[in-house]
Amino acid sequence: MIDIAIFATLLILGYIFGTFSEKKHYKSIIEREEKFKNLPTIMLKKPLNPNEIKESKLVNGSVVISIDFFKKFVASLINIFGGNVTVYETLIDRARREAILRMKEDGSTASEIINIRIETSSISQNSKSIGSIEVLAYGTAIYR
Amino acid sequence: MIYTPKLPDERVNVSHESFLTQAFKLTVSLLLMVAIFYFLMMGTINLIVSHITPQQEKKLLEYISFDVNVSNRESAYLTGIKDKLKACSEIPYDVNIYISGEEIANAYALPGGTIHITKGMLSKIKNQNELVFIVGHELGHFKNKDHLKSMGQALIFLTLATLMGDDYNFLGHSINAGGAKYSQSAEFSADKTGLELMNCAYGSVTDATTLFERMGEGKSDWEFFLATHPNFESRVQKIKALIAEKQMDVTKKAVALDNF
């Protein structure tokens, strides 16, 4: 009986705090994307205009985001029945956008960031622990 | 053309279905799936158990030894009661009865035909009739083959737990809740059989319920919600209803306890 109560409490707390932090995070992401939307980020290896470059440097942004208890529970249920793991979609979406934003913040005075790469890795020690993902975005900032 | 930077469409990569609805749907389907599996398996096991012959049962039980690590001792007095009740029961194999040293009030029927009554239980018993009913109840478990059924049930739990893994501990509890209800009905039928044995062997069922009445005092129903045994109040009620229905004798004076 007590186990069920603990489980339900964790689930409810996971849902409340998970939803709250996700909303807050999205709000901040949207604000910062708006702020940095004039900084071009492209995947080309060479700058659009190779002349007049004063400086170039490596910029990177990485973020680690963890799932909450509720999402883990729903995802494990989806593992049985199959289908889109929708609860993880927001997680990956947030992590990817946050990593790019941090990279842009790293090179905030650049005129463009080229040769962007995004890498993802998952962090989980064993099946019992709550998993996290790391997204790393890096590129070359060009200063003119 | 002049390029004006714009943000991409918002959240195209994210589903808009509510997580709560999804979680609810999935949980319900999973519980349903497990419940169907459980009841199918339980039905099969009950079918098999009801067709098992005493010889097969004996052979099966040879492979299983229950080593209960308590100081057991035999008591001629208890064995006498057990033999008298067993004569009425048509249980086709030997049943041994022991007193175990535990302080908690309990009695159990183990596979292989062994009944344990704890010291704690004996200290609560006030007269021989109460003792006869307890022994009758445990013999009732053997007669109803509850020990085999509960072994089958344990096997299903184990299978489900292995299939599901650690992530689904909550499922275990839900199944236990279902299993507890099942086990409670087994206890009621063991009560019934115990009462019939008592009536057959001693011709009287005086004080059959008094022990449960005492044990049930001051306990809330909530404690029995997930318990394997039903609450004492409803057991007493059912036993009394049965006594009235079968018109069993309750007028004979209860016999005093002998030395264990």
User: Domains plus CATH for chain A?
Assistant: 2-143 (3.30.110.70)
- Structure tokens that stand for B30 in this block: 């999973």
pLDDT score at A116: 94
Model pLDDT, residue A28: 95
Give the pLDDT means over successive 10-residue stretches in chain B (260 positions).
78 79 88 86 85 77 61 78 84 82 80 81 85 88 82 77 64 61 80 88 82 75 61 84 84 76
Q: Is A34 touching B (CB cutoff 8 A)?
A: yes
Q: Does residue A135 contact residue A123 with C-beta atoms inside 8 Å?
A: no
- A114 pLDDT band, cuts 50/70/90, is very high
- Residue A7, pLDDT > 80, answer yes
Strands laid side by side in the A55-66 sheet: A55-66, A132-143, A112-123
Q: How many CB atoms lie within 10 A of CB B81?
A: 21
Q: What's the pLDDT score for residue B65? A: 58
| CA–CA min distance B181, chain A (Å) | 14
Chain B CB contacts of A127 under 8 Å are: 165-167
Q: Say what the ipTM of the complex is.
A: 0.71
Helix, strand, coil fractions of chain B, as percent rounded to 5: 60, 5, 35
Asked if B12 reaches chain A (Cβ–Cβ under 8 Å), the answer is: no
Q: Do A76 and B30 touch (CB under 8 A)?
A: no
| Nearest CB partner across the interface for A86, out of B5, B15, B166 | B15
Residue A127 has pLDDT above 60, yes or no: no
What pLDDT does residue A119 have? 94
Contacts of B19 in chain A (CB under 8 A): 15, 19, 70-71, 74, 86-87
Instruction: Nearest by CB to B19, from A80, A81, A87: name it.
Output: A87
Counting beta carbons within 10 angstroms of the beta carbon of residue A42, is it exposed (0 to 12), middle (13 to 18) or buried (19 or more)?
middle
Instruction: List pLDDT tens digits, range B103-154.
Output: 888 887 877 778 888 888 888 888 888 888 888 888 888 888 887 787 777 7
CA–CA dist B56, B153 (Å, integer)? 19
Chain-centroid distance of CA A58 in Å reads 19
Residue B192, C-beta contacts closer than 8 angstroms, at least 6 positions apart: B140, B238, B239, B242
pLDDT above 90 (res A57): yes
pLDDT value, residue B174: 59
Q: Is B170 on the interface with A (CB under 8 A)?
A: yes
Interface residue of B10, B21, B22 to substitute, partner A, most A CBs within 10 Å = B22
**DSSP symbol at B93:** S
Chain B CB within 8 Å of residue A37 CB: yes
Residues written for chain A: 144
Placement of tokens 């003119």 in the chain: A144
Residue in A70, A77, A88, A101 to test binding to B, most B beta-carbons within 10 Å? A77
pLDDT > 70: percent of chain A? 95
Chain A environment of B10 (Cβ under 8 Å): 30
For residue A129, the model assigns a pLDDT of 60
- Do A83 and A41 contact (CB within 8 A), yes or no? no
The predicted-structure confidence for A67-79, as pLDDT tens digits, reads as follows 888 888 888 888 8
